[in-house]
Amino acid sequence: MFCTATLGSRRSARQRDVAEVAVGDVREKPFMLHYEFPPFCVKEIGFSSGYSRREIGHGNLAEMALEPVVPKDFPFAIRLTSQVLESNGSSSLASVCAGSLTLMDAGVPITRPVGGVACGLITSSDAEDPDKQDIDQYRLLTDILGIEDYMGDMDFKLAGSRQGITALQADFKVPGLPLYIVEEAVTKATDDRMKVLDIIEECQSDARKTPKDNAPAVVNVSVPRYHVKKLLGAGAKVLKNLEEETGTDINRVDEDQFSVFAPNAKALKEAVDRINEITTIKSWTDALEVGATYTTKVVEVRDYGVMVEILPDAPSVLLHSSEMSHGKGNNPSKKLTKGEIVDVVYIGKDELTGRPRISTKSLATKTRDSMDIDEFVATYLK
């Protein structure tokens, strides 16, 4: 059994198709297991011509056995490939065991290892009627070989962890079985599954803590909203060039969050550094201190405020009419004139535009005309 794990970005997760939408399955699939059973593994000559029904069924069983222990919030899409090199037993359950070890070696923090074992059944025939099975005389076999599967009356596959069963499949070649035989089969397969898990845990009992040198990496980068357009503007040309130059996959996950997927830690650091370099360009506003008072000069009067000069050789800043005083309906032309000196307080950058915001409200004293009725009553009609 040769099992490999490939980690990709969440964008690589398999998306729904028309058939899945029709039956109501609209989720993406970030964990996939591909099972391959080439002819040479059973000493046959030929070439694989696509996936057969047998391969699809065995692959689905192994995938269902491992999927419950894969964390839902894992930041990567996982493609597990199980290639059977030689088969004389249950290759689907061998894929489960090899898959557990492969996931842990790849650094996937599965909740616990999963193992499996196949259980077979041999019954005797009625002496008077050879076609009738004598269920009273039987033997249960575990970890059955190919000949025992072929000649036996049951192929019962059971996979799970130490805490419970994650997947099972039964192939009966008799019309029916008494419940006590089924219970005995589950008990026997469970006992032997624990022995298989002992062997798995001797090799590796937990996910790798230190990633390999060729392990991919992913991180979320916060970008101020007023700098997002530097990455997405002009048809996201800057972002596409960055992906091509660094070999990374950058995806916007929120208004100010970008997910960066890289094939290794070095490429990830390069991409993050480039993003920070693009989106944190220093400007003259970095010299301003939030909460500090500055003496400015009015250079232009507008309908909605006045433009003031806050620093020499710096662009003028808008003092909006709503930030001039506590009253409503302020008219800038009646309060300030061009060339007038006025003290303002710097209150930080606007979250959406990144432009500096200034105010004179905290420096002004409220008057009776600027108060609403509640403030007036509380102040003058005590």
Per-residue pLDDT reduced to its tens digit, 64-117: 999 999 998 898 999 999 999 888 888 899 999 999 999 999 999 999 999 999
Same domain, 249 and 141: no
Same domain, 130 and 250: no
Nearest by Cα to 222 from 279, 282, 268: 279
How far apart (Å, rounded) are the C-alpha atoms in residues 359 and 321? 9
Lowest mean pLDDT among 100-104, 172-176, 264-268, 295-299: 172-176
Same domain, 265 and 164: no
Residue 47 has pLDDT above 50, yes or no: yes
Which amino acid is residue 380, in one-letter code? Y
Q: Is residue 25 part of a domain?
A: yes
pLDDT confidence of residue 48: 67
pLDDT confidence of residue 288: 84
pTM here is 0.68
Mean pLDDT across the stretch 251-255?
85
Question: How many CB atoms are closer than 10 A to CB 45?
Answer: 6
Cβ atoms of 84 and 13 within 8 Å: the answer is no
Domain that holds residue 349: 285-380
Cβ atoms of 82 and 33 within 8 Å: the answer is yes
Per-residue pLDDT reduced to its tens digit, 212-248: 878 899 999 988 887 888 888 778 888 888 888 888 9
Q: How many domains does the chain have?
A: 3
pLDDT confidence of residue 41: 84
Question: Averaging pLDDT over each range in 20-34, 234-248, 259-273, 322-336, which range is the top one?
Answer: 259-273
Can you list the pairs that 277-286 forms with residues at least 24 positions away whose Cβ atoms lie under 8 Å? Answer: 278/227, 278/230, 278/231, 278/238, 278/242, 279/223, 279/224, 279/227, 279/228, 279/230, 279/231, 280/227, 284/311, 284/314, 284/315, 285/349, 285/356
Residue 348 has pLDDT above 80, yes or no: yes
Confidence category of residue 381, pLDDT binned at 50, 70, 90: very low
How far apart (Å, rounded) are the C-alpha atoms in residues 300 and 312? 16
Round the average pLDDT of the chain to a whole number and report it. Answer: 83
Per-residue pLDDT reduced to its tens digit, 173-221: 887 788 888 899 999 999 999 999 999 999 998 998 888 878 899 999 9
Residue 376 has pLDDT above 50, yes or no: no
Among candidate residues 232, 264, 281, the one where a domain is terminated: 281
Among candidate residues 147, 178, 203, the one where a domain is terminated: 203
Same domain, 150 and 299: no
Same domain, 248 and 361: no
pLDDT confidence of residue 312: 81
Residue 275 has pLDDT above 70, yes or no: yes
How far apart (Å, rounded) are the C-alpha atoms in residues 298 and 56? 76
CATH of residue 375: 2.40.50.140
Mean pLDDT across the stretch 270-279?
87
Same domain, 44 and 191: yes
